Chain A
Amino acid sequence: METESAQYFAMAIAIGLGSLGPAIGIGLLVSSALNSIGRNPEAESKIRTLMILGIAFAEAIAIYALVVALIIRFV
């Protein structure tokens, strides 16, 4: 297999597998945030700020995988 096609495969696998974990993590985060807002509607803005923060942390892992995929292809 030449380097070029191996690069394409590696890029696809890197971002494909790398976004599984963060997707599940963000789903869990948002689900528990929605649960707690349903239980306590007054604290909505506090919960919303913390949820966005948590989503940013989880999303960063997916971005690491994306950067690795881009480095494989373009460097």
Chain B
Amino acid sequence: MHEISLKAEPLFNLFGVTITNTIFSSVLVILALLIVLIIKSVGFKSIPSGGFQVIFEFIYTFIGDLYTGIMHKDYKNSVLFSLLFCVFIYILMSNWFGLLPFVGSLMLHTNGHQVPVFRAPTSDLSVTASLAIISVLVTNALGISFGGLKYLTKYVNIKSPIDFVVGMLELVSEIGKVLSFSFRLFGNVFAGEVLLAVITSLTYGIFTLPFFGLEIFVGLIQALVFFLLTTVFISVAVAHE
């Protein structure tokens, strides 16, 4: 069983920046998504005929209906929904990337020890923390853009002592949101990786299938939960009109 490392293992140096295996895998996931979606979307017709268009439109409308159910705004021409859908698809594909056959087993031999070349991007706390910070920053930025600078008086309220304390608690709660977003996604994907490493070292073949099924399910649910929570927080921030 290859050693489980909480940190992402560095692969090589590029112009002075250390490239880890999760950065490499993340770039691969993004490139694969871009290439497949751009090439396939050229052939999209008004009456869908190909299987890919049907499946993709099903996913898009399913997530869009969730978005409409929370924000009460149409998703079809919404820039915000495009951003949130990109986050959802990126997290989903990153979670499922860790289940591919060559991930975790293809090794690079450097400096005497071996390092897995590919690793699920969301199993790295840096990636999930970045996604969490983006979500919380976008939420607050939308709150300011819709409500003006009066939105910031939610946090710093000098009217009365008790309002000030409540504002401080709101600020702490925002930091709690960043932590909880990042640790929920990181914990689920990393624990899934550890589970799969242990199970594949204990049994083999068909007996590992239920655990792969569990990982597929958990990856989908975590991407969905990230999307839903971000949407809910945005709808709360924007509703202060």
B61 at the interface (CB under 8 A from A): no
A45: nearest residue on chain B (CB-CB)? B69
A71 to B221, CA, bound (A): 24
A67 to B123, CA, bound (A): 12
B239 at the interface (CB under 8 A from A): no
B191: nearest residue on chain A (CB-CB)? A66
Q: How many interface residues does chain B have, given as a range?
A: 20 to 34
Partner of A74, one of B4, B69, B70, B229: B4
A66 to B191, CA, bound (A): 8
Instruction: Decide if B184 touches A53 in the complex (CB within 8 Å).
Output: no
Number of interface residues of A (CB under 8 A): 17
Which residues of the other chain, B, contact A66 by a CB distance below 8 angstroms? 187, 191
Instruction: Decide if A74 touches B232 in the complex (CB within 8 Å).
Output: no
B142 at the interface (CB under 8 A from A): no
Residues A22-75 near B (CB distance < 8 A): 45-46, 49, 52-53, 56-57, 59-60, 63-64, 66-67, 70-71, 74-75
Which B residues are closer than 8 A to A by beta carbons? 4-6, 66, 69-70, 180, 183-184, 186-188, 190-191, 194, 221, 224-225, 228-229, 232
Secondary structure at the A interface, as helix, strand, loop or mixed, is: helix
Instruction: Decide if B191 touches A64 in the complex (CB within 8 Å).
Output: no
B207 to chain A, nearest CB (A): 23
Instruction: Decide if B187 touches A64 in the complex (CB within 8 Å).
Output: yes
Q: Given contacts A52-B228, A53-B229, A70-B191, are A63 and B184 in contact (CB under 8 A)?
A: yes
Instruction: Decide if B69 touches A56 in the complex (CB within 8 Å).
Output: no
A-B contact sample (10 more), CB < 8 A, given A49-B66, A67-B190, A70-B6: A49-B228, A52-B225, A53-B232, A56-B184, A56-B221, A59-B184, A60-B184, A63-B183, A63-B187, A70-B194
11 A-B pairs within 8 Å (CB atoms) are namely A49-B70, A52-B228, A53-B225, A57-B180, A60-B184, A63-B184, A64-B187, A66-B191, A74-B5, A74-B6, A75-B6
